[in-house]
């Protein structure tokens, strides 16, 4: 499953960024960033706070221009194929929706783009098709049995499954998830990662997931893109997640240990939480 993505040059990449550079004001956020993502491939974007992970998603959504290099998303300029991209933003303004039923939060993934809060079910063929799509997405994330409950009553993990269902309900070719594991406890992180891996493989969706800490993702990933100190490093887990590669990128000692069962553990990356179950202290630096 992992590390089989040697299709360089193939025309079917969902995302291709070559030598990308982003500048905000007078500062270069990152430069010479290269990234390719293919259907069914699960890629994590990693790096410390403020390194430009969310900025990369903004570039792929067509909301932030490159100052250098090129980017193509689903064979077109970033932004052109927005309807084929599922996106879960980092800071979710969901509190206003706490009393809305979970199923209707998923429905917003279909109807939200058209505004209004049109609940499907008016008997038209289109409404029936939309309703089927919503139930399919709920089924896929294993949320059917709590779909009728108010979103605000659900646990963090249940809410995250509903938000993932919202992001995939339009059957996107490509899924962007900005820190979806944030604020989840370790067992819930593991089950959400397993769900994303399954959706990625089963639906042949390309997934880009932003995270602080690679460890909960290591067994599920195909490839990683690290961003640190304005530089980026992309590759298969085995190639990139080594003590020497990460120490060079971060400019500080990073240890990669291999457990008895072959799993890797990364120790020492800045901003990787040392414990889980609470929000990391991250109250500033976001735009």
Ligand X SMILES: Nc1ncnc2c1ncn2[C@@H]1O[C@H](COP(=O)(O)OP(=O)(O)O)[C@@H](O)[C@H]1O
In the complex, the residues that contact Mg ion under the rule CB under 5 A are: 53-54, 90
Closest to ligand X by CB, 51 or 215: 51
Q: Which is nearer to ligand X, 22 or 169 (CB)?
A: 22
Q: Which of the listed partners (Mg ion, ligand X, none) does 49 bind, with a CB threshold of 5 to 8 Å by partner kind?
A: ligand X
C-alpha triplet 163, 81, 45: angle, nearest 5°: 55
Scored b (16 or more CB within 10 A) or e, 29-62 reads: bbbebebbbbebbbbbbbbbebbbbbbbbbbbbb
Could you say which residues in the range 32-91 bind ligand X, by CB under 6 A? 47, 49-55
Kindly give, in sequence order, each residue whose CB lies less than 8 Å from that of residue 109, ignoring residues fewer than 6 positions away: 86, 137, 165, 166, 167, 168, 169, 170
CA distance 287 to 285: 7
- Pick the closest to residue 40 from 223, 213, 205, 182 (CA basis): 205
In the complex, minimum distance from the CB of residue 162 to ligand X, in angstroms, rounded to a whole number: 23
Instruction: Name which of 5 and 189 has its Cβ closer to Mg ion.
Output: 189
Binds ligand X by CB under 6 A, chosen from 9, 11, 123, 285 = 285
The pair of three-digit structure tokens given for residue 238, joined into one six-digit string: 């085995």
Closest CB to Mg ion among 20 and 107? 20
Question: Which residues touch 214 (CB under 8 Å, ≥6 apart)?
Answer: 44, 46, 221, 224, 241, 266, 269, 272
Task: Supply the minimum distance, in Å, between the C-beta of residue 10 and ligand X.
Answer: 29
Q: By CB under 6 A, tell whether 269 contacts ligand X.
A: no
- Answer yes or no whether residue 20 interacts with ligand X by CB under 6 A: no
Shortest Cβ contact with ligand X: which residue?
287
Instruction: Say which entry of Mg ion, ligand X, none residue 112 contacts (CB below 5 to 8 A, set by partner kind).
Output: none
Query: Closest CB to Mg ion among 53 and 197?
Result: 53
In sequence order, the 6+-apart residues with CB closer than 8 A to the CB of 235 are 223, 224
Closer residue to ligand X in complex, CB, 138/233: 233
Q: Does 286 bind ligand X (CB under 6 A)?
A: yes
Q: How far is the CB of 125 from ligand X (least distance, A)?
A: 42
Q: Choosing among ligand X, Mg ion, none, which partner's interface includes residue 262 (Cβ < 5 to 8 Å by kind)?
A: none
- Minimum CB separation of residue 222 from ligand X in Å reads 21
Shortest CB 27 distance to ligand X, Å: 7
Half-sphere exposure of 120 (CA within 13 A, CB side): 23
171 binds, among Mg ion, ligand X, none (CB under 5 to 8 A by kind): none
User: Minimum Å distance from CB 99 to ligand X?
Assistant: 30
Shortest CB 89 distance to Mg ion, Å: 9
**Could you give the C-alpha distances from 121 to 110, 125, 147, 166, 177, in angstroms and in order?**
13, 10, 16, 18, 29
**Taking Cα atoms as reference points, which of 40, 13, 16, 30 lies closest to residue 197?**
40
Strands 231-236 and 223-228: antiparallel
Q: Which residues form the interface with ligand X (CB under 6 A)?
A: 24, 29, 47, 49-55, 285-287
């Amino acid at each position: 499953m992992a590390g089989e993505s040697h299709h360089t040059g193939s025309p079917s990449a969902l995302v291709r960024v070559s030598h990308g550079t982003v500048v905000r004001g007078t500062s270069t956020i990152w430069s010479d960033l290269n990234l390719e993502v293919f259907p069914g491939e699960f890629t994590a974007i990693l790096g410390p706070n403020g390194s430009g992970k969310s900025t990369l998603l903004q570039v792929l959504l067509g909301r932030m221009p490159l100052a250098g290099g090129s980017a193509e998303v689903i064979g077109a300029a970033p932004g052109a194929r927005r309807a084929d991209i599922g996106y879960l933003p980092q800071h979710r303004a969901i509190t206003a929706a706490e009393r809305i039923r979970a199923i209707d939060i998923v429905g917003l993934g279909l109807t939200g783009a058209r505004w209004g809060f049109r609940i499907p079910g008016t008997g038209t063929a289109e409404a029936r098709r939309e309703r089927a799509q919503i139930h399919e997405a709920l089924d896929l994330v294993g949320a059917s049995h709590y779909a009728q409950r108010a979103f605000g009553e659900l646990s963090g993990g249940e809410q995250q499954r509903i938000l993932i269902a919202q992001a995939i309900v339009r059957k996107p070719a490509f899924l962007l998830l900005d820190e979806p594991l944030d604020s989840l406890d370790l067992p819930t992180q593991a089950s959400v990662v397993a769900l994303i891996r399954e959706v990625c493989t089963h639906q042949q969706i390309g997934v880009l997931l932003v995270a602080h800490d690679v460890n909960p993702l290591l067994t599920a990933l195909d490839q990683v893109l690290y961003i640190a100190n304005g530089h980026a490093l992309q590759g298969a887990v085995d190639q990139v997640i080594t003590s020497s590669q990460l120490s060079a990128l971060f400019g500080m000692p990073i240890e990669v240990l291999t457990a008895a069962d072959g799993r890797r553990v990364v120790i020492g990356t800045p901003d990787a939480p040392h414990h889980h179950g609470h929000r990391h202290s991250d109250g500033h630096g976001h735009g």
